[in-house]
Chain A
Amino acid sequence: AQSVSQHNHHVILSEAASLELGCNYSYGGTVNLFWYVQYPGQHLQLLLKYFSGDPLVKGIKGFEAEFIKSKFSFNLRKPSVQWSDTAEYFCAVLSTSGTYKYIFGTGTRLKVLA
């Protein structure tokens, strides 16, 4: 079955620390990958997306992600986090074979200490 795994459920960092959130997917079709962010009390907003081309994708707010096909991974990174990055982060894959649907991971709660 198609799935997305996020192994870090809770992450606590100090400001200026580097961030890497893991995401692995299980899907054999054309890859469409996303990272969404959900700030406290808000809806999901797109951070970045990958469809094809350069496997290193840059998004908003200094975030980037690297698609590694051999590892079925799409990890999110940021060199230096800020307090305002405190949020929940969701990795997602778009399945277009069979049922057209977005499949989300269970999310990673990031808390950045000032």
Chain B
Amino acid sequence: EAQVTQNPRYLITVTGKKLTVTCSQNMNHEYMSWYRQDPGLGLRQIYYSMNVEVTDKGDVPEGYKVSRKEKRNFPLILESPSPNQTSLYFCASSLWAPTGTEAFFGQGTRLTVV
């Protein structure tokens, strides 16, 4: 089954404790990205990756890091989480094409930083 898998689904952590949210897709998609969803703000892109070893900042990259060592995986790293990073996070993947295909989304990770 084609899917994007995120882990964990729920996470409560304390300020400053490094954490990683994993994302994996099995569709051989080149393009992967991370979004955060906050009430009234919709989805905002954090980082994206066009392919292995190619990553770039989205609209709200501060406080986040990513890596793309393998095509299927795109982890999101919070080196020193702060309460303003409490949010719902989604990983997405898609083919990369001029007339594009839709993005496929993971189940989401609800992060609370206290």
Task: Please give the residue numbers on chain A whose beta carbons come within 8 Å of chain B beta carbons, in ascending order.
Answer: 9, 30, 32, 34, 36, 42-46, 49, 51-52, 90, 92, 94, 96, 99-102, 104-107
Contacts and interface: CB of A to CB of B under 8 A. Distances in A.
A19 B15 CA distance: 43
Interface string B12-42: 0000000000000000000101010000111
Contacts of A30: 98-99
Contacts of B105: 36, 43-45
B99 A32 contact: yes
Residue in B40, B42, B106 whose Cβ sees the most chain A Cβ within 10 Å: B42
B: interface residue count bin: 20 to 34
A101 B48 contact: yes
Nearest to A103: B45
B42 A96 contact: no
Contacts of A105: 42
Contact of B40 (A32, A46, A96, A106): A106
Given A43-B107, A102-B94, 17 more contacts: A34-B102, A42-B107, A43-B90, A43-B106, A44-B43, A44-B90, A46-B102, A52-B99, A90-B42, A92-B103, A96-B100, A100-B50, A100-B100, A102-B33, A102-B45, A104-B35, A106-B42
